[in-house]
Copies of this chain bind each other. A is one copy, B any other.
Amino acid sequence: MSDLSPAALSPGGTIGILGGGQLGRMIALAAGPLGLDCHVFCPDPDSPAFRVAARHTVAEYTDTEALKAFAESVDVVTYEFENVPAETLELIAPHAPIRPGAKSLAVSQDRLSERRFLAEIGVPTAAHARVDGEDDIVAGLETTGAPAILKTRRFGYDGKGQTTVRDASDAERAFAAIGGQPAILEERIDFRIECSVVVARSEDGQAVVYDIAENRHENHILKISRVPADIEPRTAQEAAEIGIKTADALGHVGVVAVELFVVGSGDDERLIANEIAPRVHNSGHWTQDGTAASQFENHVRAVAGWPLVAPHRHFDVEMENLIGHDVDRWPDLVAEAGAHLHLYGKRDVRPGRKMGHVNRVRPRER
Contacts and interface: CB of A to CB of B under 8 A. Distances in A.
A35 B331 contact: no
A84 interface: no
Interface string A79-118: 0000000000000000000000000000000000000000
Contacts of A1: 331-332
Nearest to A8: B331
Interface string A18-47: 000000010011001111010000000000
Contact of A347 (B12, B28, B33, B52): B12
Nearest to A31: B52
Interface in A42-92: 50-54
A341 B32 contact: no
Nearest to A29: B32
A221 interface: no
A1 B335 CA distance: 10
A119 interface: no
A314 interface: yes
Contacts of A32: 25, 29, 51-52, 345
Contacts of A53: 51-52
Contacts of A341: 33-34
Contacts of A345: 11-12, 32, 35, 37
